[in-house]
Structures are given as C-alpha cells and as structure tokens.
Amino acid sequence: MAATCEAETLGEAEIHAKAPLDAAITVLIEGGRMNPWCAICHAPASDWTIDVNRSRFATMAEAEPELRRLQAEQIAVNALFGDMHRND
C-alpha cells in the first residue's frame, strides 16, 4: 500500500500521508480485509516499515502516471509471486 500527499515539510507528510496510511492498514487488518503479512515476501505486519520521503514530482498531478505504473507493477508481482513463502 502507499499514500501520497502534497506537503511542504516532513511533518506535514507524516500527518497527511503516513498517519492515515497507518490507520487504514490497522482497520483493514482488524476487519479481516487485509492479511497481516506481506503478499510478496510474507513479512508479518509488525515488520513492515513506512518510509516518508520527497519524490521528484512537484504535484500529485505530475506524479499520477508514475504512481499508476508502479501500482500496476506491484499488482503483477503479487499475481506472479504472491503465494511464495520467504526462506527464513
């Protein structure tokens, strides 16, 4: 999953992107609508990290095509490898 927002500072991004993403993940897991492990590597939710950083895009509109491309890649990877287990 990912979240995006336009923010001037890291603090704003934490509030407008990371916090809502954290909350959404919790609701989905607790509601049984999302597995509590990564569909690609099977890491448990407790091992997940959320990185907040600037992108090379100035606006969400500018980022939209790249975000859609990345989303399609993630869907394809999950479809191909999502049921594979980690070797740990």
Q: Annotate 5-69 with DSSP letters as a single string.
A: ---SSHHHHIIIIIHHHHHHHHHHHHTTSS-SB-TTT--BGGG--------S-SSHHHHHHHHHH
Going from N- to C-terminal start, the domains of the chain cover: 10-81
What is the Cα–Cα distance from 22 to 36, expressed in whole angstroms?
Answer: 13
| Residue whose tokens read 């890491």 | 43
Residue 36 pLDDT grade (very low, low, confident, very high; cuts 50, 70, 90): very high
Provide the terminal-to-terminal Cα distance of the chain, rounded to the nearest Å: 23
pLDDT over 80 (residue 23): yes
> Confidence band (pLDDT; 50, 70, 90) for 21?
very high
Specify the pTM: 0.65
